[in-house]
Amino acid sequence: MERDNLMHGARTALNTDMDTRAWAENFLKEKTRLENTQMGDEEFEKYWRYHKPEIMHAGAAEAMAAFRQARHGDLETGDKES
């Protein structure tokens, strides 16, 4: 139940803030690309296009945790995301 609530909250956050959503999408795309190194660029882009919805759904909580961690690191160092 806790996992479902976490995923729902993360997906809601991604659907309300387009900058965060873009960051999360890029994060998950890069992560997926690293997991599929055997695919060529064109093959991966086709794969991403068809699997992006399920990857974004399943990875929402992970992406939001990574976003918070990255933002927290930026606050500690004084850097700002562009």
- Do residues 52 and 12 lie in contact, with contact meaning Cβ atoms separated by under 8 Å? no
pLDDT in tens, 37-52: 999 999 999 999 999 9
Say what the pTM is. Answer: 0.79
Give the span between the Cα atoms of 15 and 1, in whole angstroms: 21
pLDDT in tens, 8-47: 778 887 888 899 999 999 999 999 999 999 999 999 999 9
Give the span between the Cα atoms of 47 and 81, in whole angstroms: 29
